[in-house]
Structure 1
Amino acid sequence: MRPMARTRRIVTTGTTAVVAAARQARRLGYHVRQAAPRWRAEGGPDWWRSRAARRVRSALALLAVTVIGASVGTLLLANVRQDVGPFQADFSVQPALRGGTEVRLPPLGSLTLNSHTGPAHLVINLESLDEGRTRELVTQPNAINQASADAVTDVMQGLRRLALQFAAAAVLGAMLAALVVFRSTRRAALAGGLALLLTAATLGTAAVSFRRSALAEPTYRGLLGNAQTVVGDAERIASRYGEYTAQLQKMVTNVSRLYATITNLPVYEPADGTIRVLHISDMHLNPAGWSVVRTVVEQFHISVVVDTGDLTDWGSEPEASFVAAIGDLNVPYVYVRGNHDSSTTQAAVARQKNAVVLDNKVATVAGLTFAGIGDPRFTPDKNNVESPDPNDPYEQAGLQVTGAQLAATIADSPERVDIALIHDPAGAGPLAGQVPLVLAGHRHHREISTEPGPVGATYPQTTIMVEGSTGGAGLRGLDSGSPLPLELSVLYLGGNDHRLQAYDEISVGGAGLTEVQLERHLAGTAAAPEPTTTPTR
């Protein structure tokens, strides 16, 4: 019933607007007719009173009423809703002196294409993401390829429906305007036929003047204006991503095989009470990362997933749907906000049934007590991951203050904290001695270090483990010369004090690579063991 109600409301509004415009035209015509005899009496030219002149005036009046009525009808009624991939899109036509196409993606901005000429401007408004289709796109390896193949078909179907709606709206608007102004069914029929001809001419001009090359030369506005700076060359990324998704299933299969090779790794037999923590970070909207995470969760019997931030790139509302895959993991998910995540992203994570968001809080999850705080910055356009910026004392001070805030929260906690979570390891200094283990991300490569605690601290030293990018740095990773691998780690914590016993570092090859590598490390060992690698297939 809702689409019918929306249609009735649009038709009613459109009819009211057309009738109002027609009444104004009638008033103007009335004053002209009243003034005409006086003008003729004052010596109007003979040609003005001729039959040919009257026919010209009548035809021009009919044309003017037709154009006005068709334009109003187009503005109010020439729009259709069409699913394009995971998006619900509105297609509409606007009368304009120049043609072209505008694609709006609120709140990121828009892009314009010099696609065609003519008095019809095409607007495609990508309003929202469908949750079900987005989840399939994220979680199914072939969904991206299928969505890419279907997108052209979806757009063409929307354009065909819009062309029919455009013609109907223009004819209806012109006929209503002519009927109100002239009060003649014959002239209303003539106006409808004329509007149909004008619509056909407009669509024909757009089709003949269509420039395919314009699709590769968009003009960005709003946040999308930064897209080429942040992402790089779209054509190269698309090519690499095609290679990447083609190999994704092999990657996931190889991760499963790695679990069977654990018997060849350095000896470590997890006790029955061992808690297995999967540490991920910096997904940056890469849907391939979710497939690998889900496989590791299942194969390694993970107790809890810890995410140290940067799930998204811009922190926008459309990106928030990316987090829907969290609920499919079926294990607790502990999260702290990264500098590419907004409050909108954080709220979307908090809505997931199995998620625990830590922002200067302490929580016990899966038998472990975590303390975490979100990154104090929101810098979605930041390219440099080597932070803090040595030339920005405010950034350095802000990260240290954030670390000190979390340290104070841990000190006030009645429970002993097992793991502290931050996004940028530059803020980990104040946590030394407060906790045995700090997990972080941000830098897109792994680092493990120890920080001595102050004299009299609870712990003589604190281990700081920085995870690489589980999303391979997202699209920017595909734009680099050497694609970044997808990196994630399994931590084994046991004993009464829940100390780190061992950890497995898993690396999945970058774009076009299917090699998967796992390194087993025993806590406290000095030398790294030889990695176990699955063959490329």
Structure 2
Amino acid sequence: MDGQENEQHGAADEAAPEDARARRQWRPRNALRRLGVVLALLVVTLAGVVAGTYAGGHVGTDIGPFRAQLNLSPSLSGGTTVDIPPLGALLLDSHDGPAYLTVELGALDQRRTEALIDDPASISRASQSAVEDVRAGVMRLGLKTVGSAVLATLLLAGLVFRDARRTAWAGGLALAVTAGSLGLAAATIRPQAIEEPRYEGLLVNAPAIVGDARRIANDYTKYAEQLQRLVGNVSKLYTTVSALPVVQPSPGTTRVLHVSDMHLNPTGWQLIRTVVEQFNIDVVIDTGDITDWGSEPEASFVGSIGLLKKPYVYIRGNHDSAKTAAAVAAQPNAVVLDNSTTTVAGLTIAGIGDPRFTPDKETSPAGSGLTKVVADQVIGAGEQLAATVKASPKPVNIALVHDPASAGPLSGTCPLVLAGHTHARQVSKLPQVPDKQPTQLFVEGSTGGAGLRGLEGEKPTPLSMSVLYFDQQKLLQAYDDITVGGTGQSQVNLERHIIQDPKKGDQVPVTPTPTRGGPVSPAPTGSPTATPSPTG
């Protein structure tokens, strides 16, 4: 027995150093294994956070009248981009990383936009609530991003590790990383960054006009409140009609409201609705520039057309795009003319859209080097419409062009041409073609007061529109020029004009007409310039 025990002790003594060596070798391998697991957890966690942020880091929200999309993405530097299609983007150094916020303004919400149109005072309330809208949207975006990042990490860790404990660790790390990143962004937010944006796209010109823009924004509320009172006074104008020198309208009289160059001014719609109702308008004619940039968000501005419940005949201006025209055509009571004709309320109307699309630049002012290409485009539109009028199976009563420079070729084809573009009301007679009927040209002012640009001068541009009265033979009998505000005085003006008998002659000035490739004759004092205007 003693011999056996001695042998066992000897074997144990020999094995002890071997076990010690094995333990010493196992420890480094175990440490490396643990380090590998930790690194794997970190890689899986970061991958899950990034994938979850891209997959779920976006929400839709209302910001004022806009429908906006908020997107969050990983970033080392942080910051915010506000995309304003198609104008460009504002880049704001709003916070530090590692999260980047993108705000993309989309279409206008029709309900909110109509509320702004119906109550101009709500513009001020909307600007105040926009900050709260952004704050609420960002909170929702943060919560959704955290949830999406944690969920994506748990799924990825479960697939990689197939171990509940390690999966739970990855989920906890994802929560800490995502919440910590958003917390860092919130802690370093700089509200003053909105005052120092960088610009991309067409907005690079913004710094040059930011002073005027701020002044316009400060003055607009006061201006809108004044217009609210003035528009309310339009209803009183109709009570004076019986005292004006006009023949008593017969049952066959057709009343046409001519508007032009709305340029996104919501007050214009309220004025139009008031006149349509008070003057019992049969047809509304719009000679273009209903928008400023022709962008998709602006297209919802035309939704008020359907509220008029009257036929609305429209041609595209140089600030209106194909999307604008399509949005107008989608209204149940609208007719869009583009080198075509229509018959509404017994009147045969022909019209053509402006051949240019120039919202991002001004056309050359009169006499300052108008290019032959532009002149040919504008005159060519009139020539195309003249051919359409001549080919019409029905005699055309009214022709519509946006720029009055397109009217020349229409002389003798119809009795009346309506235009806009210049933001200044003018009435004249086109040079008469031998053996052809005389043609009058009516250029309307801006029904939208030239939009916000109308507030840039010392006196706001007035809101202008005209009511045209046609007899049973569809000949123009009289017209009312309505002017609202814009002169620095609280007033609404209506001027009644009677059309003289052509046999007795009249004193309407003659509008010179440009020719293709040739110089444009100067217009006499008091008549509209017959070249494409820079104001449209």
Give the TM-score normalised by the residue count of structure 2.
0.83
- Please list, as runs of the form range in 1=range in 2, the aligned pairs for 1:11-90 lying within 5 A after superposition: 49=28, 55-90=34-69
Residue aligned with 2:276, SS: helix
Give the conservation status (yes or no) of the 8 Å contact 1:388–1:395.
no
For 1:70 and 1:326, how far apart are their aligned partners in 2? 48
Give the conservation status (yes or no) of the 8 Å contact 2:42–2:170.
yes
- Please list, as runs of the form range in 1=range in 2, the aligned pairs for 1:52-201 lying within 5 A after superposition: 55-201=34-180
Residue matched to 1:515: 491
Residue matched to 1:472: 449
Tell me how far 1:136 sits from its aligned partner: 3.3
Residue aligned with 1:103, SS: strand
- Write out per-residue CA displacement over residues 183-210 of structure 1, whole angstroms, 9 at most, x where no aligned residue: 3322222222222222232222212221
- 1:276 pairs, out of 255, 260, 266, with 255
For 2:224 and 2:27, how far apart are their aligned partners in 1? 74
Residue matched to 2:267: 288
- Write out per-residue CA displacement over residues 239-276 of structure 1, whole angstroms, 9 at most, x where no aligned residue: 12222232342122111122223344445433332211
- 2:465 pairs, out of 474, 488, 492, with 488
Cα gap change, 1:228/1:288 in structure 2, threshold over 3 Å: closer, same or farther?
farther
Tell me how far 1:278 sits from its aligned partner: 0.7
Residue matched to 1:316: 295
Tell me how far 1:480 sits from its aligned partner: 3.1
Residue aligned with 1:261, SS: helix
Cα gap change, 1:92/1:495 in structure 2, threshold over 3 Å: closer, same or farther?
closer
Q: Which amino acid aligns with 2:423?
A: H
- 1:356 pairs, out of 326, 332, 335, with 335
For 1:342 and 1:154, how far apart are their aligned partners in 2? 30
Give the conservation status (yes or no) of the 8 Å contact 1:230–1:476.
no
Give the conservation status (yes or no) of the 8 Å contact 1:327–1:353.
yes
Give the conservation status (yes or no) of the 8 Å contact 1:100–1:113.
yes
- Write out per-residue CA displacement over residues 379-419 of structure 1, whole angstroms, 9 at most, x where no aligned residue: 11133585697431111122222111111211222222111
Aligned sequence identity (%): 55
Give the conservation status (yes or no) of the 8 Å contact 1:243–1:512.
no
Tell me how far 1:75 sits from its aligned partner: 1.1
Cα gap change, 1:363/1:267 in structure 2, threshold over 3 Å: closer, same or farther?
closer
Give the TM-score normalised by the residue count of structure 1.
0.83
Tell me how far 1:149 sits from its aligned partner: 3.0
Residue aligned with 1:197, SS: helix
Deviates more, 1:194-203 or 1:133-142: 133-142
- Write out per-residue CA displacement over residues 409-449 of structure 1, whole angstroms, 9 at most, x where no aligned residue: 11222222111110000111111122221110000111111
**Matched positions, count:** 481
Q: Which amino acid aligns with 1:475?
A: L
Whichever of the two has the greater Rg, that structure is 2
Matched, 1:220 2:199: yes
Give the conservation status (yes or no) of the 8 Å contact 1:486–1:509.
yes
- 1:345 pairs, out of 319, 324, 336, with 324
Tell me how far 1:81 sits from its aligned partner: 2.2
Deviates more, 1:236-245 or 1:445-454: 236-245
Give the conservation status (yes or no) of the 8 Å contact 1:230–1:381.
no
Matched, 1:377 2:356: yes
Cα gap change, 1:231/1:393 in structure 2, threshold over 3 Å: closer, same or farther?
farther
For 1:141 and 1:385, how far apart are their aligned partners in 2? 34
- 1:502 pairs, out of 451, 474, 478, with 478
Residue aligned with 1:454, SS: coil
Q: Which amino acid aligns with 1:486?
A: L
Residue aligned with 2:402, SS: coil
Tell me how far 1:517 sits from its aligned partner: 1.6
Residue matched to 1:334: 313
- Write out per-residue CA displacement over residues 132-169 of structure 1, whole angstroms, 9 at most, x where no aligned residue: 33333334434433432332222111111111112212
Q: Which amino acid aligns with 1:340?
A: H
Give the conservation status (yes or no) of the 8 Å contact 2:329–2:335.
yes
Residue matched to 2:426: 447
For 2:156 and 2:384, how far apart are their aligned partners in 1? 68
Give the conservation status (yes or no) of the 8 Å contact 2:108–2:298.
no
Give the conservation status (yes or no) of the 8 Å contact 2:477–2:499.
yes
Tell me how far 1:108 sits from its aligned partner: 4.2
Tell me how far 1:226 sits from its aligned partner: 5.2
- Please list, as runs of the form range in 1=range in 2, the aligned pairs for 1:201-240 lying within 5 A after superposition: 201-225=180-204, 233-240=212-219
For 1:177 and 1:348, how far apart are their aligned partners in 2? 46
Give the conservation status (yes or no) of the 8 Å contact 1:170–1:199.
yes
For 1:95 and 1:164, how far apart are their aligned partners in 2? 15
Deviates more, 1:64-73 or 1:440-449: 64-73
Residue aligned with 2:387, SS: helix
Give the conservation status (yes or no) of the 8 Å contact 2:459–2:488.
no
Residue aligned with 2:91, SS: strand
Give the conservation status (yes or no) of the 8 Å contact 1:230–1:383.
no
* RMSD over equivalenced CA pairs, Å: 2.7
For 2:364 and 2:492, how far apart are their aligned partners in 1? 25
Deviates more, 1:327-336 or 1:378-387: 378-387
Give the conservation status (yes or no) of the 8 Å contact 2:379–2:406.
yes
Q: Which runs of 5+ in 2 are unaligned?
A: 1-23, 501-505, 509-536
For 1:327 and 1:221, how far apart are their aligned partners in 2? 36
Give the conservation status (yes or no) of the 8 Å contact 1:231–1:476.
no
Cα gap change, 1:51/1:414 in structure 2, threshold over 3 Å: closer, same or farther?
closer
Q: Which amino acid aligns with 1:303?
A: D
- Write out per-residue CA displacement over residues 38-90 of structure 1, whole angstroms, 9 at most, x where no aligned residue: xxxxxxx9999276665555434322322222111111122222222333322
Matched, 1:408 2:387: yes
Q: Which amino acid aligns with 1:510?
A: G
For 1:335 and 1:251, how far apart are their aligned partners in 2? 26
